[in-house]
Chains A and B, each alone.
Chain A
Amino acid sequence: MNLPTMDRRVAVKKLLDARDGALVVTGLGSPSYDVHAAGDRNDNYYLWGAMGGAALIGLGLAQTQPSKRVMVITGDGEQLMAFGSLATISVARPKNLDLIVLDNQHFGETGMQSSHTGKGIGFDKVAAACGFSETAELRSLEEVDTLCEKLRRPADGPRLFVLKITAENLPRSLPPRDAVEVKNRFRAHLGFATC
């Protein structure tokens, strides 16, 4: 039986429309395209590489900007490479870090090979076992609307939400390739000097 999935671009647009000042970090591949497609902004930090880095960049950012909420938007493949990060983040216990895993159960960027998440590995369950303060698996845009409301409210610790999305390759919406420029404009957004 095929369980329902949702449109990734619509889901990400909903999350970003409700970001309410949140700083956003994106994992390489399609999540970066999804966030860029919703509108390029200085308070987005996009990855084009460094697979497995998104959640941990989010942790470093959350620890240094405790008054702001940090939202990491990444894919199942990228998060699989950072499996241990769920332990590190849980132990660090930031109250302002939310991980959104866009889960199409495939490595979409490399030819749609099946990933672990279609074979019994649920990041919501893994994160719950690690001690995240809240986790869930969502399968509909209506649930995303509810999540947007939830994310506005304070958390007791890190949260992780799996959004089951349709496995499809949408037209790419490419963020700037110049990672130095993206870094500098992000820091400038927070009022820090660039060089």
Chain B
Amino acid sequence: MTASLQAKHPETAAVAPTPAASEKQWPDQVYDVLKAAGISQMSYVPDAGHTTLIRLFGEDPEVVTNVLTTEEEGIAIAAGSWLGGKRSVVLMQSSGVGNCINMLSLPVHARFPLLVLVTMRGEWAEFNPWQVPMGQATEASLKAIGLKVLRAETGPDLVETVAQAAVMAFDADQQIAVLIGQRLLGKKKW
């Protein structure tokens, strides 16, 4: 809200100001587009890059969240959610993609809508060599099991990509992973 608008409408001054959409950071905007897409369930194995999304969904009384012991659990939960008439999103790091491969045969074979957001490691200013093998294999592994893979390297591109991926997943019964480039996430604080 601008200062001039507040001056014209002093009754709104008591309301905590919310940043305009253009001022929001991409995690907040991704949350907004997922909410607009009707997501009411979120499952995750944490990653630093998903911190804001995990917090926003966790604080949202309209969204059921599940913390997972391993990423493939989220793939099965999302299928159950669709059977029950709701839309789910799964958040994980690229290392978790390897854990999911056989479970992905469920949405691929039964054509369940699936939307997975993957924060990438092992591809840009990576300091941990153990992250590199799975990071480099992530896209190829997902494509090999039959997912459609999209990728974003900037905040605005990611927001747009997630919005259209949700349409393809839930309106066209597709199984989609959106890879969030490590270049966008920045170097991990160590």
Contact = CB atoms under 8 A, between A and B. Distances in A.
Contact of A56 (B67, B76, B105): B76
Contacts of B80: 25, 56-64
A111 B78 CA distance: 32
B69 A52 contact: no
Interface residue tally on A, bucketed by range = 35 or more
A60 B83 contact: yes
A37 interface: no
B96 to A, nearest CB: 13
B106 A64 contact: no
Given A50-B76, A63-B64, A88-B69, A179 B109 contact: yes
Given A50-B102, A56-B76, A179 B84 contact: no
A187 interface: yes
Interface string A46-74: 01011111101111111111000000000
A9 interface: no
Interface in A163-195: 179-180, 182-183, 186-187, 190-192, 195
Interface residues of B, number: 32
A81 to B, nearest CB: 9
Given A60-B77, A61-B81, A85-B73, A53 B111 contact: no
A88 B110 contact: no
Interface string B74-88: 011111111111101
A60 B79 contact: yes
Interface centre among B72, B77, B78, B85, by most chain A C-beta atoms within 10 angstroms, is B77
B81 A60 contact: yes
A62 B79 CA distance: 12
Contacts of B76: 50, 52-54, 56-57, 59-60
A84 interface: yes
Contacts of B112: 183
Given A61-B81, A187-B83, A88 B109 contact: no
A56 B77 contact: yes
Given A88-B68, A88-B69, A49 B79 contact: no
A92 interface: yes
A50 B86 CA distance: 21
A192 B173 CA distance: 14
A24 B81 CA distance: 14
Nearest to B173: A195
A136 interface: no
Contact of B83 (A49, A54, A57, A87): A57
A61 B106 contact: no
B131 interface: no
Interface in A68-107: 82, 84-85, 87-88, 91-92
Given A59-B80, A84-B69, A85-B69, A187 B85 contact: yes
Given A54-B76, A60-B82, 18 more contacts: A25-B80, A50-B106, A53-B76, A53-B106, A56-B80, A57-B83, A59-B76, A60-B88, A61-B83, A62-B80, A64-B41, A64-B85, A65-B84, A65-B85, A88-B68, A91-B67, A182-B110, A190-B83
Q: Which 8 A-B pairs have the closest CB atoms?
A: A60-B80, A64-B84, A84-B69, A56-B76, A179-B110, A53-B76, A50-B106, A57-B80
Interface of B: 40-41, 64, 66-70, 72-73, 75-86, 88, 102-103, 105-106, 109-112, 173
